Amino acid sequence: MNHKEISIFPRKLLGEDAAAIVLSLTVVAYVVSLFLTAIVHSHEVLLGGGVLLLGWLGPLAGSFAWFANPLLIFAMYFSKDKPSAAKLAAFFGFALALTAFGIKTIPSDNGSYEVLGFGAGCYLWLACFPAVFIASFLSSRKSRAPAPGD
């Protein structure tokens, strides 16, 4: 396999709109993650949508992972027009999102609950960050590619 074959592999696999396909799948994955279990704690499970609605209160518990969401949305929105900025947002968003694994307890009006684990919604949400990074990378490759006939 020569260098030219490697550089166009995603386009061969997904077609010319590889970035759009990856980005579309990322958006679908993000929405699906809202309906799946994100956090399992000693009292119940929290779905991704609930975590999204209440996660901005995370700093009260010492967690800033929720703030990765605006970076993810930014990266999704700008992955085609500003792929460099989108890649940076996806990278830093992913780093911030990984801090979710540092959550040990969730405060509640009835005390606090011990976090027992993380569900598929959390992992699907985390997978959105590298996926949008890849979509941005494919967009940047497409924008630098010479037009047919050049």
Q: Which helix (DSSP H) or strand (DSSP E) does residue 80 occupy?
A: none
Contact 133, 87 (CB under 8 A): yes
- H helices of 65-116, where? 68-78, 83-97
d(CA 101, CA 123): 11
Contact 58, 68 (CB under 8 A): no
Q: Give the pLDDT confidence score for residue 149 in this predicted structure.
A: 53
d(CA 24, CA 34): 16
Q: Where are the domains of the chain?
A: 16-142
Task: Give the pLDDT confidence of 90-132 residue by residue, as tens digits.
Answer: 999 999 999 999 988 888 777 788 899 999 999 999 999 999 9
Query: What are the φ and ψ backbone dihedral angles of 36, each rounded to 5 degrees?
Result: -105, 160
Which pTM was predicted? Answer: 0.82
Task: Give the pLDDT confidence of 29-71 residue by residue, as tens digits.
Answer: 999 999 999 999 888 899 999 999 988 888 887 889 999 999 9
Query: What are the φ and ψ backbone dihedral angles of 38, each rounded to 5 degrees?
Result: -105, -50
